Amino acid sequence: MNRSLSLLAKVLTRVGTDAPLPSVLADLALYTESVAPDTRCSILLVDPTTATLRAAAGPSLGDSFVENCDGQPIGEGFGACAAAAAYGAIVTANPKDPKCFSRCRNAAASSQFGSCWSAPIFDDDRVLLGVFSVYRAAPGEPSREQATALRIGARLAALVVVRHGEADRLRATAAALIDRSDRRRAKAAVDIHEGVAQELAAAALFLAHTVPRLHPADAVIAADLERVGTTLRTLTGRLRAFAASLAPLGPGELCLTLALDGLAVRTASQTSIEVRRRINPAVDRLVDAQTAVQLYRIAEEAVDNTVRHASAKTLTLIAAIQPESLVMEVADDGVGLAERPDALARTGIVSMSARAARIGSRLEIDSPATGGTTVRVSVPLATAGVLEVHGASRHRTKDGPRREVGSASR
């Protein structure tokens, strides 16, 4: 016990100092090992630029083991650490289990451990920072005390990372990647709509003018050309629809509600799911362009998850205004996450969490054992960009303070 307290004191006294981050995290790993005997710990941090986990500490695991952990892709099949990062939840696994390690079986076969317990490391805004893992020679689930040590280790790791400024770097990198992705989507949408879609439309128009001029003896050719023209028009329509999905909120537009309506209509028309909408049109007055884009992308990802994984009969899309916040929800009556843990790695939780943090919000996912899943984002009105109250709008100024302006109109 004295050694454990000494190690904990050492970690806490080094937090926020100039001590190298890997060194402080190594002390934290040693502290956890002292309170959970017969275990070994590793700490991996997220690299947002590559969507991988990079080794930060593993003082008792040996260099070769730590090197094998370095650069793990976030996702299913790469082990408990990668799965915990993808799921956003604690994962327990046997390194010999081919399902958990289906995409890195060589590493699993060489493991000297019988169990691995991994917990995601989140900051207060649920931005994923990394994964805290505990290894044990014997297979099995963690005891209550061991599970508590794992959770405490993950929370202390978050404190250490945040206080060392690494969280700010990760947040800034994630935000930059999101912005770059959105800019590329917008550019691709313009290129498709104004480029190849226009050319296909022009070709279809040319055929429509050419066919009537053909000699009657060329009826077979005319019929073939008409079919080509029909195909071209169909392709043009699909390309324009795809371009619209890439950038549903055009440059300078704030029609979040129209974009959400379009998402609901497309989902209902392309699937057998009954889509219900409760979208308050006044939401458009409360959001700036950045908030609108991030909320739409979160809704798009959540709806796609329902369609692909939930086996749902109904889906409800909500955009509502509460006294202190703007709330968006995507709820379904599907099987829930408890019945499909293998799908969690594909739910885009990291991306949705990063987008929520980008606009000063937090992502909440509720999936009870009885079924159904609700993805919820609540944006404080103070950070939503524009706030209309009692006929007047308060706009965020460039320097941060707000100023009163006249009533906004749609």
Q: Does 65 share its domain with 190?
A: no
Report residue 244 as tokens.
Answer: 């619209």
Sequence-distant (≥ 6) Cβ neighbours of residue 315 within 8 angstroms = 267, 273, 274, 275, 276, 303, 306, 330, 331, 332
Domain-ending residue, one of 164, 193, 214: 164
Q: Does 279 share its domain with 231?
A: no
The enclosing domain of 49 has a CATH number of 3.30.450.40
Domain-ending residue, one of 247, 264, 281: 247
Q: What is the pLDDT of residue 204?
A: 85
Q: Does 284 share its domain with 242?
A: no
Q: Does 349 share its domain with 407?
A: yes
Domain total in the chain: 3
Q: What is the pLDDT of residue 162?
A: 84
Q: What is the pLDDT of residue 315?
A: 96
Q: Does 264 share its domain with 216?
A: no
326 to 95, 283, 323, 332, 407: CA distances (angstroms): 44, 7, 8, 20, 19
Q: Does 124 share its domain with 104?
A: yes
Q: Does 144 share its domain with 134?
A: yes
Q: Does 90 share its domain with 107?
A: yes
Q: What is the pLDDT of residue 389?
A: 38
Q: What is the pLDDT of residue 7?
A: 67
Pick the closest to residue 332 from 353, 307, 355 (CA basis). Answer: 307
Report the largest interatomic distance among the alpha carbons of the chain, rounded to a whole angstrom: 100
Q: What is the pLDDT of residue 42?
A: 93
Q: Does 154 share its domain with 183?
A: no
Domain-ending residue, one of 104, 133, 164: 164
Q: What is the pLDDT of residue 286?
A: 83
Q: Does 48 share its domain with 157?
A: yes
- Crossing angle, helix 144-163 and helix 166-191, to 10 degrees? 80
H or E stretch at 380: strand 373-380
Q: Does 8 share its domain with 127?
A: yes
Q: Does 91 share its domain with 179?
A: no
Query: What distance in Å separates the CA atoms of residue 159 and residue 128, rounded to the nearest whole number?
Result: 13
Summarize pLDDT for 316-359 with one digit per residue, the tens: 999 999 888 899 999 999 988 765 554 444 446 767 887 888 88
Low-confidence ranges of the chain (pLDDT < 50): 1, 105, 108-109, 251-252, 342-347, 386-410
The enclosing domain of 337 has a CATH number of 3.30.565.10
Q: Which domain covers residue 173, as residue numbers?
A: 165-247
